Structure formats: C-alpha cells, structure tokens
Amino acid sequence: MRRLSGWRGDVLAALGALLVAAVLVLGLGSNGLVDFIIRFGIFGLLVLSLNLLIGTAGLVSFGHAAFFGSGAYAFGLLMQSGGWSVPAAILAALLWSALLALAIGALCVRLSEIYFAFLTLAFQMLIHSMVISWVSLTGGDQGLMGGVPKPPFLGIELARPTHLALFAAACLAVSAVLLRQVIRSPFGVALRMLRDNPQRAAFLGLSVFRYRLGAFVIAGTFAGLSGVLMSLYVSGAFPTFLYWTTSGEALFMIMLGGIGTFLGPLLGAATFLFISDRITAFTEHHGLFFGAVLLLLVLGLRKGMLDWAVEAWRSRRERHKA
C-alpha cells in the first residue's frame, strides 16, 4: 500500500514539475530558458541513469558516455537513412544501447571498484576510437554531419525548440518516475544490499553478477535516451559525446548535487549548467573561475549539496529532540 502511494506521489511530483516547465517554456519562452530546459532534460537524464550505478549499486563507472554517444549515433544514423519515424528510431536506438550495455556490462561488472572504473573507461575510449576510425559510417572526427531530419509525429514538431524542450522535459519526467520505481523495487533493494555488503548478499543466494548486470543495462538504456535527445538538440552526433570528458562531466554533476538522494544529481546538473553558463557570459577564462567554484564547493561541503543539506537538517532535528 505504501509503495503504491509512493508511486502516485512520484507521478504527481513529475507532473507538477512538467507543468512548471511547460509554463516556463510557453509562457516566458525566452530562448535562453528554452535552451536551458532542453540541456537540463538531456543531462538530467544522463546523471539520473549514472547515479543508478553509483548511488544505488555502488558501481563507479568512468565510461557511461559510451551509451550516451551510442544512443546519439544510432538515432542520428537511423534518421539520416530515411524511412524511420522518430518514435521507431528512438526505440531502436534504446535497444541498441541496451544490447551494447549488456555486452560491455557482462565483461565489466565482474571487476570491483577502481578496476571496474578503468575497464568501463577503456571500453568507452575503444568505442570512441572505433567511431573516429570508421569514417565512412560515422564521419570520423567530423561527426555525423548534414543534420538529423525530424519529421513531425503526433503533432510534435521536434524541429521547433519549444516542442523539443517539452519533449525533453517529458522524457526526463517519465524516466525519473521509472527509475525511482526501479530503485524502490525489490531489485533496487537488492542492489543497495550488494553495494553495502556483497558477501552477505552472495551468502543469501543473490547472484551479484546478474543484479549488477541488470543495473548496468537499465542505466545504459536511459543514457541512450539521453543521447537521443542530444542528437535531436544539436542535429548530429559527435565523437566528443563518447569522449571521457562527457563521462567526467556527468560524474561532476552527480558529485556536485550528491549521490545519496534521488534528486541530488538533478540539482547537480542544474547547478553545473547554470554556473557554467553564467561564467561563460562574463569571462573567457571559463576554466579558472569554474574550477575555483568547484574547489570551494567540494572542499567546503566535502560532499554533494543535497547530501550536505539533508545531513545538516537531520542533525538539527536530532538536536531539537535532545
């Protein structure tokens, strides 16, 4: 009964957030805001999927952008080939990302901690190199040029920024509800147990391998969706999507917001994008200022913002009780 009400609460919250986004996009409609909402949809989805691995399953992946990039390339290539509608191409791109995650995950999830991180990084960079060297298919280091066609479907014209912003926000909202369900389900509980005490879980007869692989595939699939949105946003696909810096940025967003709460990564993504935009607006020395802000936040709080806030609030409540 409680799980049902939790589920309903999530849907209501997601609908509320979507409504706010719709009012912002349609009501104010400033270009900067629409642009921000699209990017927030993309990176919000990427960090939520990555935090299923990091926060819930305790698997620190350095190669999550492999699935982001593969989703973008698969979608872009299908749309350029003609004859695919947008929803069909999205489904195919998600399936492709899931299969890739299944293959890579089957090799990676056997390793633990830092070795898992390095192996995921190695596979991501391997895919990056393949995309660079397979010029005839992918366009090499130029990326997928010539634009991605976006034929309208069900009255949705993704070529228009406002439609794309609402579509990205809707994808994020639906995915957030689904991912929250995954985390709350017995499967999610098992993942947390594997994170905290893998030996005990193995004694109880849980297959460490299967649960971790399951989480890896789910995370990879949602990262693929985020890549599809990126491909729609920039109307192409570029090798940087698959480069380690993209995985790095997702990790920083998560660290900034906090790994211990569901919404932490989203706060991190919004903060990262916002600070990054602000700094670009007033100085060309983006790295200098952005790095300094990062250092202050990280060394000041020693943890993500939302994790810090939750902890501060809890300890304050304890003190009031005492």
Nearer to other proteins, 20 or 107 (CB): 107
Interaction residues for other proteins, span 177-216 (CB under 8 A)? none
Asked whether position 102 contacts other proteins by CB under 8 A, the answer is no
Each residue 8-37 as x (binds other proteins by CB under 8 A) or -, in order, gives: ------------------------------
Among 16, 29, 147, 287, binds other proteins (CB under 8 A): 287
Asked whether position 137 contacts other proteins by CB under 8 A, the answer is no
Nearer to other proteins, 134 or 153 (CB): 134
Nearer to other proteins, 32 or 140 (CB): 140
Among 102, 126, 156, 174, binds other proteins (CB under 8 A): 126
Among 60, 102, 182, 263, binds other proteins (CB under 8 A): 60
Nearer to other proteins, 79 or 119 (CB): 119
Among 30, 81, 133, 315, binds other proteins (CB under 8 A): 133
Structure tokens at 207: 């297959």
Q: Contact positions toward other proteins, by CB under 8 A? A: 54, 60, 107, 111, 113-115, 117-119, 121-123, 125-126, 128-130, 132-133, 135, 140, 244, 248, 251-252, 254-256, 259, 285-288, 290-292, 294-295, 298-299, 302
